[in-house]
Amino acid sequence: MRKHIKKDLNRRRRSGTETTTSPPKFESKRIAFKVIQNRPPGVENKQFWASTQLSKLPANASHTRIRNHCVLTGRSRGITHNYFKISRIMLRELAAGGLLPGIKKASW
C-alpha cells in the first residue's frame, strides 16, 4: 500500500517540465497533418490519412495538454507568473520569509 502512495506522491511532485513544453520534434508534423485534415472536402483519402497519422502521434505532444506546474510542489493550479513558475501558496510563503528578491507585503 505504501508503495502505491509513494509512487503517486512522486508523480504529483514532478517539476512539470514534461507537461509545460510541447516536444518540438512533433510540432511540425502535427501542424502539417492538421492543415491537410482541415482542407476543404475533395480529397478524402488524404484527409483520412492525415487524421490517422495525427492519432498516431503522442497525446502529450498536443498544445491542449500543456499545463504549467509549480517547480517546487508540482501543483498545477494557481501558478502565479511565468518568471517565478511557482504556485500562489509558495509565492506567499517565500515572500513572507524574504526569500524572493524585490517582493514585500503590501501595506497602505
pLDDT grade for 15, boundaries at 50, 70 and 90? very low
Q: What residue numbers bound the domain in which 48 lies?
A: 21-67
User: What is the number of domains present in the chain?
Assistant: 2
Q: Kindly state whether residue 63 falls inside one of the protein's structural domains.
A: yes
Q: How far apart are alpha carbons 42 and 28 in whole angstroms?
A: 24
Same domain for 34 and 60, yes or no, is yes
Q: What share of the chain is helix, strand, coil (3-state, %, to 5)?
A: 55, 0, 45
Tens-place pLDDT, residues 48-107: 888 888 888 887 777 777 778 888 888 888 887 777 788 888 888 888 888 888 887 777
Same domain for 75 and 46, yes or no, is no
Record the cell numbers describing residue 62, joined without a space. Answer: 498536443
CATH at 98: 4.10.830.10
Same domain for 58 and 25, yes or no, is yes
Q: Kindly state whether residue 77 falls inside one of the protein's structural domains.
A: yes
Q: Kindly state whether residue 108 falls inside one of the protein's structural domains.
A: no
Mean pLDDT value across residues 37-49: 78
Single pTM value for the model: 0.50
Same domain for 25 and 63, yes or no, is yes
Q: Kindly state whether residue 59 falls inside one of the protein's structural domains.
A: yes
Q: Is the pLDDT of residue 1 over 70?
A: no
Mean pLDDT value across residues 25-47: 79
Half-sphere exposure of 67 (CA within 13 A, CB side): 12
Q: Is the pLDDT of residue 43 over 70?
A: no
Which pLDDT belongs to residue 75? 85
